Structure 1
Amino acid sequence: MTSMSRSAGDGACAPRPLVAAVIVTFNPELPTLRKMIEALQAQEAEIVVVDNASLASVAEQIAKLTGELSCGFEALAQNLGIGAAQNRGFAAVAKMDGNSVSGERYVLFLDHDSIPDVGMVGKLVAADLRLRARGVRVGAVGPAIVDVRTGTTGRFVSSGSFLVKRIPCESGCQELAVDFLISSGTLVRTDTFAKIGGMDEALFIDHVDTEWCLRAKAAGYALFGVCGARLIHSLGDEVVSAWLGRKREVFVHSPLRDYYMCRNTLLILRATRMSLGWRVFLLSRLVGSIVFFVATQAPRLRRMGFMLMGLRDGLLNRQGKWTPPW
């Protein structure tokens, strides 16, 4: 059944497209997952949970929770990575409509630790509809990300002729044209997602969203950050403060994630259409990350080893899931 929203004109009820949230889980905290689902259902979103081979005891609890809350659930037999899980979730959403995709359905991609703020879903849909009414070829829209640990609202990423920069939402701004949206919180119409194509499963994790966004931009689609929509999220395993030209919050991942960051940066630089500004941005970020994390974040030697192997495999064009040799 199509949900209803009140039109701005005469107060009558007009159809609003259905939204299905695809939540990818991997050993999630069950209370947080419950809170996510309940928040999304309060905003009239249907739910599909795709579990990426969590521990058997955790997967059993997820299955129980999704059954209790009337959500779709698909348990993958092995961890296929974030991109593959998102693609499986999209396929499950398409099945809701008889394997068809249209402008009557949106998919909202979410990680298992992302809590939508009140009204986030409706604000994202409204922004998409508003932009399309102006004739904009919308690829996707996404919320402002608020870090659950620090309360800091993240900035969006946009590029000019030669530079990629991070821009904040200014007071009164409804949406910003951007180059990149993190996958958690990204809302895309199903027909648009089908035209752009699914997530690159060969990347496994890290830069999956970067590659998709750059591919969407190269295909002529526009991406937008919606300033009034907020998602409470946690990037990285921890956040540290550092002085890097100015005070910054740096998100620290595990050495294994550092491997994927290094490898996949080189993979997308090799295979993805992007501007010179983006190439400079990705390369400088890669070098800066290696120097900062190896110099400051334990375990330094293990982290350096994983990063070097990531660089090697990126140069050799090795893809997919990686198992450390020790």
Structure 2
Amino acid sequence: MTEPSETPTAPDDGEMAMPSSNGSDARAAARIASAVLADVAIGVTLFHPKPDHVAVLVAAFAGSVRHVFAYDNGGVSAEIRSVLDRSAGVRVIGQGDNVGVGAALNGLAEAASASGARYLMLLDQDGEPSLELALGLKAAMARLSLMLVPPAMVGPIQRPVAGRKTPLYPPRRNVAALKGLDPVEFMATSGSLLDLAAFHSVGPFRADYFIDAIDLEWCFRAWSVGLSCWVDRETPMAQCVGSGVIRARWLPVTIARQPLFRMETYIRNTVYGWRLAHVPRRWKLIQMAYLPLQIALYWAESGYRAAVLGRLLHAAVNGLRGRLGRPAGAA
């Protein structure tokens, strides 16, 4: 995470001017940002968060955005809870049990809708929260609202992080890009701005997926009902997957290093997605070719342990049979 600047800057589209020279200008800038984001709620999913991460979140939005919802998905200490409870505009929801990312996202969307917000910016505790991010995505959403295919979600371009795997979003075919905005098949929910009316049209995120491929499935579902997903190339945010990278020796293939239960869940949900009509056939074929390579690479990293391969293959079988829900090994 990076510390947000004290004085937010506006998008470059000329919609607003953000002064930035002294204390009074900074206060004026904050008031402008607050007005522009009056219909935006912030929703962050917390799972065993670090105090400094929460401090950045509070510094970025508390007092500037009317509604900030923090979903306690487990491991939020009494100290952090106290900080959140004392912060202006911040409301903690959730019961402190790990219900999975999908259920937490749905809880945030429901809370934001009940607050009267039109948009919800989704974050996790490892994102880069800032008013600049929110302002940039709001400006992008305003431009996209004029499209024939209305936007369901717009997210930032991913800034690479050394030693980590950066998500890549394939472009959507047969949809024209705009200046600085690219239509994509799917994107990560973290850092994205969600249109809440579109959310209710598309339906909730799949809670039975628990943690992996939730954003992919939802975005494909959005496209299938005549809505769209976009990446704003002028609004960057560092985003990475896993704790490192596993690289193939002889092929240009890399996967994120992550716990075994996460890899199992990814495999299960990916295979289950092959059963869904709204997931495009071309994407299923790509995954059918790529997933065995990912499995082989993860197995090799484990030292070719038979037990690991067995669990990965069993996860694929669970996907084929539709056995979803909370994975074994989830904290």
Unaligned runs of 5+ in 2: 1-9, 18-31
Superposed CA deviations along residues 73-122 of structure 1, whole A, max 9, x for unmatched, are: 0132521110001111111112212xxxxxx6211111111113661111
Amino acid at match of 1:92: A
What is the Cα deviation at residue 188 of structure 1? 1.3
- Is the aligned partner of 1:105 residue 2:118? yes
2:190 is paired with a residue whose SS is coil
- Is the aligned partner of 1:308 residue 2:291? no
What is the Cα deviation at residue 284 of structure 1? 2.2
C-alpha change, 1:287 and 1:17, in structure 2 (3 Å) is: farther
Contact 2:102 2:206 in 1 (8 A): yes
After superposition, the CA RMSD in angstroms is 3.0
Superposed CA deviations along residues 285-325 of structure 1, whole A, max 9, x for unmatched, are: 32121011111245844532331221121122111102259
Q: How many residues align?
A: 301
The within-5 A match list for 1:55-70 is 58-70=76-88
Identify the match of residue 280 of structure 1 among 278, 281, 285: 285
The within-5 A match list for 1:119-268 is 119-150=132-163, 154-160=167-173, 173-242=179-248, 245-246=251-252, 250-268=255-273
Superposed CA deviations along residues 203-257 of structure 1, whole A, max 9, x for unmatched, are: 11101111101100111111110011122233112224545644x6531111000
Q: In the alignment, what sits opposite 1:166? A: none
Superposed CA deviations along residues 118-141 of structure 1, whole A, max 9, x for unmatched, are: 611111111111121344411110
Amino acid at match of 2:84: T
Unaligned runs of 5+ in 1: 98-103, 162-168
Find the aligned partners of 1:234 and 1:61 in 2 and give their Cα distance. Answer: 27
Q: In the alignment, what sits opposite 1:165? A: none
Superposed CA deviations along residues 37-68 of structure 1, whole A, max 9, x for unmatched, are: 323448747311101122xxx43233112113
Q: In the alignment, what sits opposite 1:38? A: 59
Identify the match of residue 105 of structure 2 among 77, 86, 89: 86
Amino acid at match of 2:243: D
Find the aligned partners of 1:93 and 1:175 in 2 and give their Cα distance. Answer: 26
Q: In the alignment, what sits opposite 1:100? A: none
The within-5 A match list for 1:66-77 is 66-70=84-88, 71-77=90-96
Amino acid at match of 1:146: R
Q: In the alignment, what sits opposite 1:164? A: none
What is the Cα deviation at residue 260 of structure 1? 0.4
Superposed CA deviations along residues 168-211 of structure 1, whole A, max 9, x for unmatched, are: x9xx9511111111111121111111111110111111011111
TM-score by length of 2: 0.80
